[in-house]
Structure 1
Amino acid sequence: MNTFQDLGLNSDLLQAITDLGFKTPSEVQEKAIPTLLSEERDLVALAQTGTGKTAAFGFPMLQKINIDSRTTQGLILSPTRELCLQITNELKLYGKYCNGLNVVAIYGGASINEQAKEIKKGAQIVVATPGRMKDMIGRKMVDISKIEYAVLDEADEMLNMGFYEDITDILSHTPKDKSTWLFSATMPKEVATIAKKFMHNPIEVTVGAKNVGSEQVSHEYYVVNGRQRYLALKRLADLNPDIFSVVFCRTKRDTQKVAEKLIEDGYNAGALHGDLSQNQRDLVMKAFRNKQIQMLVATDVAARGIDVDDITHVINYQLPDEIETYTHRSGRTGRAGKTGVSMVIVAKSELRRIKSIERKIQKDFIKKDIPSGMEICEVQLMSLANKVHNTEINHKIDGYLDSINQLFEEVTKEELIKKFFSVEFTRFYNYYKDAQDLNLEASHSSERDTSNEQSTRFFINVGKKDGFNWMELKDMLRDILQLGKDDVFKVDVMGTFSFFNTETAHEKKVLETFNNLEYNGRKISVEITEEKGQGKKGKRQRGNGRKQRGNNKGFDRSAPRGKRSGFGGASSRPRRSRRK
């Protein structure tokens, strides 16, 4: 392997590398840096999260720009403000001996005027989130018409977050003869489209195979009843006393709920999601980096700026919608040459998705059992014993030893050991002594197992023409009904209507919740179908004996379709009709 001295970097950058303690370049750095230094070419680099991509484009850009000029010459776009700040800080460290260097971060959640002032002082490199950059261009607060280098970092994530139009608009304000460097963990078709549209004959650098998971990460899955997902999470945490993890949930609501429950149950946990202010997010991340938080519960969007090398586990409390997102999640562990574990908690109905992920990342998942209560008690006991054995003696205790010895003078060594360890062991034993087995047999079924439960099938008058697929409708229903992820199932979406199941115990709640509920100005009709628990589409109940709420006469067929703004969105939440 080459050293950094072999890559063609100048003495100022090499001195900074020495100060940072970097020994040898990573694979993506070894492949990208010499190429970018020797040629004015576009480049597409595919490498997993945590492989050192920032240095791979940062060092060449710092060496190529003219420090003596105050013109903005480099633009780096990143998906989140956390990542934007991280890149900015790293570039400042890399360029600490580049006298006159000014790197400015621009992102939402901070004063736009202050950021504009920093740019006017002369910023050779601007690191930005797409939304804030587009805003500043529109206000003529930044000039990128003379940039020589543009970097799209975490390109797949930016596109996955819906920034395609912002990126294309931003790049339209840049010179056509600039060099564009695209860095991404995966290569979905959207990234390929960007490369084709804005890049000319790019060099491709690939670390490993495309879209393949890291070799440093092992993948495990645990099959449980959907309603016992949280209990399973706690057991996995208790089985790993030194856990330092990110727990991924699909929604902001679930993220906050799980974090709050963990804190209530005595875990060092915190939530990270988009509803937090920038100051709150900064405080949570500071606590996590300092390991005051052992379990960071996060949404995928909020976690994209996390760059912590010591994460031991990634726990998928819920699987993401996209396989590429799972690749990013698992890439949070196993960084900087260390190993990590990606755990997935799944219901039976989700097992087919495990197989899909295996094919995509070309890694096998190991099926494991949720540990029993007594297994956890043993692990916790031995963890405490090892900590006590390895603890350095604090001799400040010497002055109290006479009193302590007097208290235990009639206690044997064996009794003393038992008493000492019983303090911690008893807490776990009392909690887990009657704990149930949470494991389910893993049969790869695409349907939820309802053989032992009574369920009710409902009709609802929204469907594909309203912009819903089965997953979006399921998420909307569980959000409105405030039910668990697996309490709404067998969702079938048709053109203008749909069907779904819940347990019969929720029947009254469903009908009452959707009574007088509107969507885009029209009444929502939810009715019970004739066939309960069979998963068949069937017909709605008719006649005097039927149970139903709502009225199909309120179905406005001229209402706008193809948008979700009326259901579940922040700008147009479902609302109760006013009774006359």
Structure 2
Amino acid sequence: MASFKELGLDEKILQAVTDMGFETPSEVQEKTIPILLDRETDIVSLAQTGTGKTAAFGFPMLQKINVDSRTTQGLILSPTRELCLQITNELINYGKHYKGLNVTAIYGGASISEQSRQIKKGAQIVVATPGRMKDMIGRGMVDISKVEYCVLDEADEMLNMGFYEDITEILSHTPKDKSTWLFSATMPKEVSKIAKKFMNAPVEITIGSKNVGSENVSHEYYLVNARDRYLALKRLADANPDIFSVVFCRTKRDTQKVAEKLIEDGYNAAAIHGDLSQNQRDLVMKSFRTRQIQMLVATDVAARGIDVDDITHVINYQLPDEIETYTHRSGRTGRAGKSGVSMVIVSKSERRKISQIEKIIQKKFEQKEIPGGMEICEIQLFHLANSIKDTKVNHEIDPYLPNINEVLEDFTKEELIKKVFSVEFTRFFNYYKNEKDLNAVAASSAGQDSGKSYSDDKVRYFINIGSRDDFNWQSLKDFLRDLLGLGQDDVFHVDVHDSFSFFNTDAKHTELVMGIFSDFVLDGRKISVELSKEGRRKGGGGKGRGRGNKKGHRKGGNRGGGGGRDGGKPSFKGKSRRKDSKPKGKGTSGRRRRR
């Protein structure tokens, strides 16, 4: 393996590398840096998150720009403000020996006038999120007409977030003869499209295979009934006492709900999602980095700025809508040469997605069992024993030892050990002794609702919301499940049309469904549900009904459902949860209401 000096880096960068304690370049740095230093070219570099991509484009950019000029020569676009700030800070550290270097971050949620002032001071490199950059270009606050190097970082994620038009608009203000460097973890069709449109014969570098997951990450899945998802999450946490994890949910609402449940049950948890202010997000991330938070519940978008090397587990509480996004999630762990575990909690109806992911990451999942209560008790007992063994003695206790010895002098060593461990063990034992087995039996058939054992006594309903209201079959199913307080497999055969949809439940739930929707309002609009005479997956009965409705938004509280709760978490550590471990972000309530 080459050294940083052998890559062709100058002394100022090499000094910064030494200051930061870097010893050898990563594979993406070793393959990318010499090419970018040697010639002016476009490049597409495919590598997983956490492999050192920022230095791979940051070192060459710093070495090539003219720090004596106040002209903006380098532009880096990234999907989120967290990642934008992270890249900016890293570039400042890499270039700290370049006198006069000005790297400026442009992102939403901060003063646009202050960012404009920083640019006018002479920012040679601008790191920006697409939305804020487009806004500032429109206001004439930034000039990128002389940019020589443009980086599209996490290109796949920017396109997933809908930034294609913004990127197109931004790049139209840059010179055609600039060098464009595209970095991405995966190479979906959208990224290929943007490469063809904006790049000229790019050099392609692939670390591993396209879209393949990190070699340091093992992949596991746990098959449970949908209603037991939250209980399964708690057991996985209890079975891994030293867990330091990111828990992924699909929506902001579910993210906040799961985090609040975990906090209520005694776990050191917090949520991070798009409804938090920048200050709230910063506080949550600070607590996570210092391990005051052990379980960070996040949406895919919010997690883009998480740059922590010691994450032990990624837990997919819900699989992403876009299967390719799984690669980004699992890339949060197994970083900096360390091993990690990516866990997936799936219901029977979702099991088919595991094989789809296996094809993308070219790795096999291992199906594992949710541990039983007594197994967790044993794990926690030995964890406590090792914690005691590794605890450093605080000699401030010495003056109190004579009195302590006097209190305990009648007990043997074995009796004392039993008493010490019983203080904590009894809580876990009482909590888990009567708990049920959470593992589900796999369904034999495939399909979008293969996990449901359908009763002959089932009812089909018409509802006057559809794709025009931003629903697809999965999101409508989740919406109905949460609203009705049913398990995920209790709502099935969901068919979404433009302005109306159909769904089924067993007949025993009919009274509940019709009662909930008897006078239900979503975003100021009456939502109607009727019994349908149509057969399964036929939409003719709804023809002409519910049309012309205004576009709504799926917000609001919930009536239970999902994973149940079986009480608070007992803790061997004996710690009460921190008062500041719960972010003061927005809750799950919204505009949905019942009259």
Normalising by structure 2, what TM-score?
Answer: 0.89
Alpha-carbon offset, residue 104 of structure 1: 0.5
Quick check: 1:523–1:554 contact (8 Å CA) kept in 2? no
The alpha-carbon deviation at position 360 of structure 1 amounts to 1.2
One of 498, 505, 514 as aligned partner of 2:501: 498
Structure 2 residue 545 is matched with structure 1 residue 555: yes
Mapped pair 1:566 → 2:569: no
**Paired residue secondary structure (2:324):** helix
State how far apart, in whole Å, the 2-side matches of 1:261 and 1:304 are: 24
Question: 2:114, 2:468 → 1: CA distance?
Answer: 45
Q: 1:545 matched to which residue of 2?
A: none
Mapped to 2, the partners of 1:421 and 1:521 lie a distance apart of 57
Q: Is the 8 A contact 2:470 2:553 kept in 1?
A: no
Q: Is the 8 A contact 1:489 1:501 kept in 2?
A: yes
- The verdict on how the C-alpha distance between 1:4 and 1:252 changes in structure 2, with shifts beyond 3 A counting, is same
Partner of 1:41: 41
Q: CA deviation at 1:394?
A: 1.5
Partners of 2:523 and 2:592 within 8 A in 1: no
* Correspondences of 1:365-514 after superposition (within 5 Å): 365-443=365-443, 445=445, 446=447, 447-450=450-453, 456-463=459-466, 468-478=471-481, 481=484, 485-494=488-497, 497-504=500-507, 506-514=509-517
**CA-atom RMSD, angstroms?**
2.5
1:25 Cα deviation after fit: 0.5
**Length, aligned pairs only:** 559
Q: Distance in 1 between matches of 2:82 and 2:429?
A: 41
Shift of 1:284: 0.3
Instruction: Give, in whole Å, the separation in 1 of the partners of 2:456 and 2:143.
Output: 63
Cα displacement (A) at 1:486: 4.4
The farther-off stretch of 504-513 and 395-404 is 504-513
Unaligned runs of 5+ in 1: 541-551
- 1:337 and 1:92 map into 2 onto residues whose CA distance is 24
1:24-59 residue CA offsets vs partner (Å, 9 max, x unmatched): 111100000000000100000000011110000000
The change in CA–CA distance for 1:165 and 1:453 in structure 2 (over 3 A counts) is same
Aligned counterparts of 2:178 and 2:73: Cα–Cα separation in 1 = 10
Structure 2: any 5+ residue segments left out of the alignment? 557-589
Q: Higher mean Cα deviation, 484-493 or 196-205?
A: 484-493
Structure 1: which amino acid aligns with 2:19?
D
Q: Which has the higher contact order (CA 8 A, sep 6+)?
A: 2
Residue by residue over 1:159-213, the C-alpha shift from the partner in whole angstroms, topping out at 9 and shown as x without a partner, is: 0000000000000000101000000000011111110000000000100000111
Q: Deviations along 1:220-278, whole A, 9 cap, x unmatched?
A: 00011101100000000000000000000111111111101111111110100111111
Alignment-derived partner of residue 245 in structure 1: 245
* 1:9 partner amino acid: L
Q: Check conservation: 2:78, 2:130, Cα contact below 8 A.
A: yes
Q: Secondary structure at the match of 2:135?
A: helix
Distance 1:525 1:186, change over 3 A: same
Q: Secondary structure at the match of 1:100?
A: coil
**More displaced stretch, 213-222 vs 515-524:** 515-524
**Aligned mate of 1:529, from 532, 536, 551:** 532
How far apart in 1 are the matches of 2:172 and 2:311?
Answer: 39
- Aligned counterpart, 1:546: none
Q: Post-superposition shift, 1:77?
A: 0.4
Aligned to 1:140: 140
For residues 360-411 of structure 1, give each alpha carbon's deviation from its aligned partner in whole angstroms, at most 9, with x where no partner exists: 1111000000000000000000001011111121211111110111011000
Taking the aligned partners of 1:556 and 1:464, their CA distance within structure 2 comes to 12
For the structure 1 residues 260 and 96, does the alpha-carbon distance in structure 2 shift closer, same or farther, using more than 3 Å as the test?
A: same
Q: For 1:413 and 1:192, how far apart are their aligned partners in 2?
A: 68
Partner of 2:354: 354
Contact residue 448 and residue 490 of structure 1 kept, 8 A: no
Matching residue's letter, 1:375: E
Match of 1:161 in 2: 161
Deviations 1:411-435 (A, max 9, x none): 0000000001111111110100111
**Residue 569 of structure 2 corresponds to which residue in structure 1?**
none
TM-score normalised by L of structure 1: 0.91
Which whole-Å CA distance do the structure 1 matches of 2:275 and 2:522 have between them?
24
Query: Would the alpha carbon gap of residues 69 and 451 (structure 1) be closer, same or farther in structure 2, given more than 3 Å must change?
Result: same
